[in-house]
Structure 1
């Protein structure tokens, strides 16, 4: 079956939206791998400190190591779903071109592929949000370090 230039152009136009989804997924993967790298680096520092600490300080190091391990699991799962999304988007583009070149009606398969890609992206983003919230909870600044009195802080904020 021969295709004319307009049919090829139309297929390329149909593929643009999934390709934008692929670019967005790649950007998300870049952010996720950066976060994973930071957690791994922090874990290495904590592992070095583990043998040097005792008592309450050692317990804090162990607790932070456990928390970092959980964060790494969440990030890894988010990366996995984002990669799966990217793979499904590639399959979607392949389906669109296969339909254009063979004349087979693959619209239902393409629709399911797009829906699956969106679901995987959604899961990845939710896991990303979970990990960010975990990071925020892990870095809770103790009140004594802020040198803030309970009610005096509010009064100082009003003066500014």
Structure 2
């Protein structure tokens, strides 16, 4: 295995696009884990409220169920984003390995990259579903609070 400086610079040029993708995936993972942490924090608060206020049990249990649903969706998005990161790292490693050893790994590289993109698409789909559930929850809570305010005024 005799690498020339020109070979290494060529490999690095090929790896630039996957590295940028990896940076984006890392940023997305930060967003997803922050959302998961906020969901978990809210679930803990709702569980405490449920123990202290059994008269609002129906509303709190509904919210808790929605929080569990959101956490499962975010968990899937995190899993798929992590899978994307892993596959992109493998693409970068195979780019270097293939070029350094002269092995024809182009089909493996292409398959891993496409797999990573499909995984990223799946992650975005689950993220979007979680946003829809969160928006629905917020809308439902707003309607409930509006009805309570109106009933107090009468």
Q: TM-score, normalised by structure 1?
A: 0.87
Q: Which residue of 2 aligns with 1:9?
A: 9
Q: Which residue of 2 aligns with 1:155?
A: none
Alignment partners' CA distance in 1, 2:145 and 2:44: 27
Map 1:42-53 onto structure 2 (within 5 A): 42-53=42-53
List alignment gaps of at least 5 residues for structure 2: 148-154
- Post-superposition Cα deviations, 1:39-58, rounded to whole Å, max 9, x if no partner, equal 00100100101112234x11
Map 1:5-84 onto structure 2 (within 5 A): 5-55=5-55, 57-84=56-83
SS at match of 2:52: coil
How many corresponding residue pairs? 145
Q: Which residue of 1 aligns with 2:146?
A: 145
Q: TM-score, normalised by structure 2?
A: 0.90
Higher helix residue share? 2
Q: CA deviation at 1:144?
A: 6.7
